[in-house]
Structure 1
């Protein structure tokens, strides 16, 4: 990075944070602090909802996911538009009618206090874990590729987010997220245009798509019924639907975004905006990753994009064997390049065959890395895009793309801290310490924002990479969301089931879901479906078998 990159990066982030704090530094009531005074318009809500979901993990992991596995990951979002419609018709009207601060307040009126408390605690656990990951994800990757100190980077990201979230509350989160989404869109579109223009002269966008298609990268939809396959059309419209219903309908980090709307209509329009823009946005980010793959058909790519992994194996007894694999990969890449640049006879079948061989070489390299350094992460999906940015993008654009990554980390983390503080204060603290002053509850909200921020920083400091960071966040959600959604489905649609039955049904369902996840017998998206159905069925069963309260 050069001075221009630093100026772009620091200037962008400083403007977002200072503008958000300056515009929203005064919050006199708990409604101002937690609901933004109910002044948000639909476009602010829509962008805020998108920014909450689009964490740094999205922009680090998703292109790498496409580079290695193609566009199939977009199926994960196929159930989202339908979920948004259902939430707008049934969930949001209830929240607005009851004028709740959190989604879980509704459950006390419908069931009882302990059901409300249980679901609030389940949210706090899963979102508290995810909050640490959203800080850790960009920190670990940037620290590896840039050589920055990991602990300092985690502390820096955490402290910046805590500062403006604590001072400005929900309104600051919403305002800053509008700026952050603008930076994100600008950065990704600019990067996409640069990649296309970096192809050889004889390779246009259409030919790039042909190359990607020949190597299987454009296989968007998988209609197979394999329950172990993580991303299929069926898992997307079922497991993805249930996950989206839980996330947008019951997760306070999202609910709090549209509870700040000026009216019911503004909240509904904002959520619908997100629902119908999210799939195209993810498709575009995946397409960026596919174009990076095409770019590397004409430029040498490393056998593994994690520089720490390469360094570890180069210093081990497996160095010679590893160097042989690198030489073989170089030969394969040169053959692919020759076939693709042959104007008279482009043999796409041979390119596809060589691509399969390249994957085998990379797999062998991962095996050697694992032998040389078992503690080093061999899965390099999260490093593909950032490595490309730092090596090939021009000065200034590098700073902009790093600003995209850090802006996304800040936006999602700010929403999480804001929601964690709101749930802690409204569902736990205020419920047990009622009739205190508005100032007291505003200060309590600030204290719990700081508290959860520190928890997130500590969790991030002791975190470790999983197979793929974007999958890790979704796995954590899938373990808890099904049960929570089941409780809300019963609350809204199944009036015969009462509080005692649904409370024990939720406890049993959550225990079973954790056990099923431990057995690893299904793709994680199905946990959302199973958790929801289990909670509903157990609720029915317990309603007619448990002794009735006098």
Structure 2
């Protein structure tokens, strides 16, 4: 690797925590640490949301999707935008009217602490599995690129560096630091993608676009695929994508906490819907890179070119084809997609939804702030330990971590809809429905197959996991609620109690 590239990458790793801490300032209250005292500009939150939902796998895998297929992946981004619109006008007002700091506090107001604790614990386990695996998965392409450049590093060393940096700026700067760093990182990896497009365009034949168009590489809609088994069939992608986005952006504390950092409900809506538009164009950018790589490599299968996996395509191109300086910028961009922190959300939910509920004494605000910072450290160690357990992608826990949201998102989103739509539902109904849904989704994901239209069998397409989970939660909770004669009084829109 050229010294210029090394300088850019090291400079980026040093600069990130400094930027976060300087922009965040001193965290004096728990509200400041949890939701940035609700004073973040909507554009920064918008960028941060996009960075949070974009992993390194997104940056390196999306080009491969287009290289091997077409632009049909964009259909799911249409669903993502529709789902965000629903969240903006249905769920966000409930969070803002009570000035809550976690999404699950609303469930506590509607049902009681049992449902709040169940949802929060599910979020914590889901995030540990998903983000631990995401952290390990991030190390895979980074190791590939460093190895190609002559650096022999272990997975755990890459994971340790990323963990230390994210813990540092999250501990010192809270949500404000997380949002600013996320926003900066989104700009970095998008600029890296644009640079890749510019450089590729200069190395492709003049008729590459027409050739790709004739080969169907720019096909956007797929109306012929099996609705049940093809993830990018039109109905599956749009409906499933919308429900998945409603769960990830309306019922997952990771995103909700960033939305609650804006000044007003209107600003939060702007950030959320704007992020859906940006994600659509971001996916389009990396799909375009994949199509251009298809032209550059004449459509040869990545493994036929000596690559270990299909997802090595974009990283290998960066290391072998990019000039000094540009390669460093693109590698820094890939690292940027890996470093969005979930630590603050994990700490906030732990302290607010569980620790304070179980504590035998009322904590003053200084104690809450101290506990939040302690839990940032604890969760940082936990994520590092979990991610460092793996040495390859064959471990079955890897598959669980990558698919865990399929088991839980339907139950999480379903609990919110149960509270909104089924007025008779009580706390016991919500808890039972939640647990039953997670169990049912385990059966659906692991044991149910459908005809694939080609004489074989295939599993249910992943975009349907969340809709099925929501339906199960509403059915079970709705039936259980029939035991009760009267509806539950709506929760009072009171401000969450401040620590004494």
- Asked if 1:88 is matched to 2:15, the reply is no
Determine the C-alpha separation between the residues in 2 that align with 1:60 and 1:66.
11
Normalised TM-score (structure 2) = 0.89
Higher helix share: 1
Computing the radius of gyration over CA atoms, which structure comes out larger, 1 or 2?
1
How big is the shift at 1:225?
3.5
**Equivalent residues in 2 for 1:192-203, closer than 5 Å:** 192-199=197-204, 203=205
Please say if residues 133 and 402 of structure 2, whose CA atoms lie closer than 8 Å, have aligned partners that are also in contact: no
* Mapped pair 1:2 → 2:7: no
Is 1:431 aligned to residue 357 of structure 2? yes
8 Å CA contact 1:104, 1:120 repeated in 2: yes
In the alignment, is residue 284 of structure 1 matched against residue 282 of structure 2?
Answer: no
Count of residue pairs brought into register by the alignment: 468
Q: C-alpha displacement at 1:12, in angstroms?
A: 2.4
Hey, what does 1:492 align to over in structure 2?
Answer: 420
Match of 1:359 in 2: none
SS across alignment from 1:72: coil
Counterparts of 1:40 and 1:273 in 2: how far apart (Å)?
A: 15
Equivalent of 1:454, from 361, 381, 390?
381
Give 1:511-530 correspondences, 5 Å limit.
Answer: 511-521=439-449, 522-530=460-468
Q: CA 1:125–1:461 in structure 2 vs 1: closer, same or farther (change >3 Å)?
A: same
Q: Is the 8 A contact 1:21 1:168 kept in 2?
A: yes
**Structure 1 residues 296, 471: CA separation in 2 closer, same or farther (over 3 Å shift)?**
farther
Alignment of 1:400-411 (within 5 A): 400-411=329-340
Distance 1:60 1:157 in 2: 18
Given the alignment of the two structures, is residue 303 of structure 1 paired with residue 241 of structure 2, yes or no? no
Gaps of 5+ in 2: 148-152, 450-459, 487-500
C-alpha separation in 2, matches of 1:545 and 1:298? 61
Give the Cα separation in 1 of the matches to 2:182 and 2:197: 22
- How far residue 542 of structure 1 moved from its aligned partner, in angstroms, is 1.2
CA apart distance, 1:99: 0.7
CA distance in 2, matches of 1:443, 1:539: 38
Alignment of 1:262-341 (within 5 A): 262-297=263-298, 303=304, 306=307, 309=308
> For the structure 1 residues 515 and 304, does the alpha-carbon distance in structure 2 shift closer, same or farther, using more than 3 Å as the test?
farther
The Cα of 1:78 is off from its aligned counterpart by: 2.1
Equivalent pair of 1:62/1:470 in contact (CA under 8 Å) = no
Correspondence for 1:393: 322
Residues 245-268 of structure 1 deviation map (CA, whole Å, 9 limit, x = unaligned) = 000001001000010111111111
Unaligned segments of structure 1, at least 5 residues: 310-379
Question: What's the RMSD between the two structures over aligned residues?
Answer: 2.3
- Displacement of 1:472: 7.6
CA contact (8 A) 1:81 1:276 kept: yes
Q: Give the CA deviation at 1:71.
A: 2.0
Q: 1:518 Cα shift?
A: 1.0
Give, in whole Å, the separation in 2 of the partners of 1:193 and 1:466. 36
Deviation at 1:15, TM superposition (A): 1.9
Bigger mean CA offset, 133-142 vs 214-223:
214-223
2:347 to 421, 434, 456: 421
Moved more, 229-238 or 434-443: 434-443
